[in-house]
Amino acid sequence: MIALAGVLGGVALWSAGLHTQGGRALPGAWVLLPLAVMAGVELLRRTAPATALAVGTLALVADQFTTGSLATVVMFTDVMYAAVLYGTPAAARRIPWTTGLITVAVTIGFVTWLRTPEALLIGVVTALISFFPASTGVLVRNHRDAAESARLRAEQTALLAEMDRTQAVAAERTRMARELHDMVANHLSAIAIHSTAALSLDDARTTRDALGVIRENSVEGLAEMRRLIGLLRESDKSGTVSAAPTLRALDTLVEQARTNGASSGLCFTLDDRRGEGVAPPLPTPIDLAAYRIIQESLTNALKHAVPGTITVGLNGTERALTVEVRSPFGDRPGPRAPGSGAGLVGMRERVELLDGDFEAGPVTAADGGKIWLVRAELPVVERRERA
């Protein structure tokens, strides 16, 4: 469209006899040749701006040997502007300086040659058709590049925000899965073991005792589920939700495990060496993590331990809380609840989140027997300082 408008405008000016110069210039239709060339290079202003500028410059020089056409000059200014806007970054930096130096050189040269004030007008015209279009192209290109950079930064910010959101959702799903597993697995394991025993043993007393344990664990499991749902929902009108379990309820947890494991020949003992008033109150995350680790360890012992004594040990100092659960290790007869390995993964994740140390596996006891040891050391000082 620019080329077509330029050609039509140039032909109209030529038909009306309007020219930019006279004198010894080539008369007649010669002025249309640079006009046609300039209109042709307009077609290359975006795809090949450097070539368009070079050929356009030659066409402008050729136009000076004819009677001259204003349309040719105007199209040249557009070619100059496009060369800076759509050309390479090096060309965009080089062309304004080059046109500026040419403008200064032309002005000085004609002032020196003609020695008249009117010679300054030649420098002004040179600047109008070269330096000013190039400078305008630089300004537009800078604004365009700044807008593109802002758009890229906005896209990157949105991408990072989406990645953060995805990671946060994944972390929250993992935490919820770990919490749900620790809360419900203990009760469901007891239900599975005692229901299997009730089905395998044709004894009314055993069946009745198993049903009692199943009912007790079902009720407690539902209570734990209600507590978890309460934590996930919004706070009630009082602004509080159900409290998380702590080590203060450890006696109840061990007693429950003792009841659940009695039919399997398991005995549970608690060895709390923290002492009264020696260690400071535990931070809530440490207290909850220790409780969940012991709960999951007792669940695993209920599912996999051979008949014997399971010992829960606690030892606390001002700097760390140590949790140890020892259970007999070997081939267990009788009914067993299936395991998925998620319990050990969950315990390890809890300890790692608190920058503690965790180990679990079979070891040799002092008497030469095999035991399964779960040991977690939870730092208290570092956690309190970080909080």
Supply the pLDDT for residue 260.
80
pTM summary value: 0.48
190, amino acid identity: A
pLDDT band at 203 (very low <50, low <70, confident <90, very high): confident
**Helices 132-200 and 89-114: crossing angle, nearest 10°?**
170
DSSP-assigned letters across all residues of 338-350? ---SHHHHHHHHH
- Show the tokens assigned to 335: 């009914």
Helical spans, DSSP H, in 250-371: 250-261, 284-304, 342-353
Q: Output the pLDDT for position 170.
A: 84
Cβ atoms within 10 Å, residue 351: 22
- 8 Å CB contact between 275 and 358: no
374-377 contacts: CB < 8 A, separation 24 or more? 374/293, 374/297, 374/300, 374/323, 374/324, 374/325, 374/326, 374/347, 375/322, 375/323, 375/324, 375/325, 376/289, 376/290, 376/293, 376/322, 376/323, 376/347, 376/351, 377/320, 377/321, 377/322, 377/323, 377/351
Distance of CA 274 to the CA centre of its chain: 43
Q: Residue 273: is its pLDDT beyond 70?
A: yes
Q: How far apart are CA 184 and CA 25, in angstroms?
A: 100
With bands split at pLDDT 50, 70 and 90, how would you rate the model's confidence at 211? confident
Q: Residues 195-199: contacts with CB within 8 Å, 24+ apart?
A: 196/335, 196/337, 197/263, 197/334, 197/335
Mean pLDDT computed over 286-295? 87
Amino acid at 309: T
Are the CB atoms for 257 and 302 separated by under 8 Å? yes
Q: Is 226 a residue whose pLDDT tops 80? A: no
Q: What torsion, rounded to 10 degrees, do the Cα atoms 350, 356, 359, 360 define?
A: -30
Rounded to the nearest integer, the mean pLDDT of the chain is 82
Q: What's the pLDDT at 337?
A: 54
pLDDT at 387: 52
- Residue range 178-195, pLDDT digits in tens: 777 766 666 677 777 777
The average pLDDT across 224-243 equals 59
pLDDT tens track for 85-94: 998 999 889 9
Residue 266 bridge partners (DSSP): 308
**DSSP-derived pairing of the beta strands 266-272 and 308-316:** parallel
Query: What is the Cα–Cα distance from 97 to 114, expressed in whole angstroms?
Result: 26
The tokens of 212 are what? 């009692």
pLDDT digits (tens, 9 = 90+) for 92-137: 899 999 999 998 998 899 888 888 888 888 888 889 999 999 999 9
Residue 240: predicted pLDDT:
46
Tally DSSP H helices, then E strands, for the chain.
Answer: 12, 5
pLDDT at 278: 45
The structure tokens listed for 368 are: 């030469």
Mean pLDDT comparison of 191-205, 231-245, 356-370, highest-scoring range? 356-370
Looking at per-residue pLDDT, the higher value among 22 and 161 belongs to 161
pLDDT in tens, 350-364: 888 888 899 988 888
How far apart are the C-alpha atoms of 207 and 197, rounded to whole Å? 8
Those residues with Cβ within 8 angstroms of residue 223's Cβ, 6 or more apart along the chain or in another chain: none
pLDDT at 23 (0 to 100): 64
| 21-61 pLDDT, tens digit each | 766 677 778 888 999 999 999 999 999 999 999 999 999 98
pLDDT of residue 144: 92
Residue 12: pLDDT above 80? yes
Closest CA to 5 of 66, 57, 77, 75: 75
Residue of 127 and 241 predicted with greater confidence: 127
Q: Name the token pair of 53.
A: 């500028």
What is the C-alpha separation between 27 and 67, in angstroms, rounded? 6
Task: Assign 333 a pLDDT band (cuts: 50, 70, 90).
Answer: low
pLDDT at 141 over 60: yes
**Residues constituting the chain:** 387
Of the candidates 302, 304, 282, the residue with the CA atom closest to the CA atom of residue 294: 302
> What's the pLDDT tens digit per position in 249-267?
888 888 888 888 777 788 8
Let me know: does 134 contact 87? Beta carbons within 8 Å: no
Residue 78 has pLDDT above 90, yes or no: yes
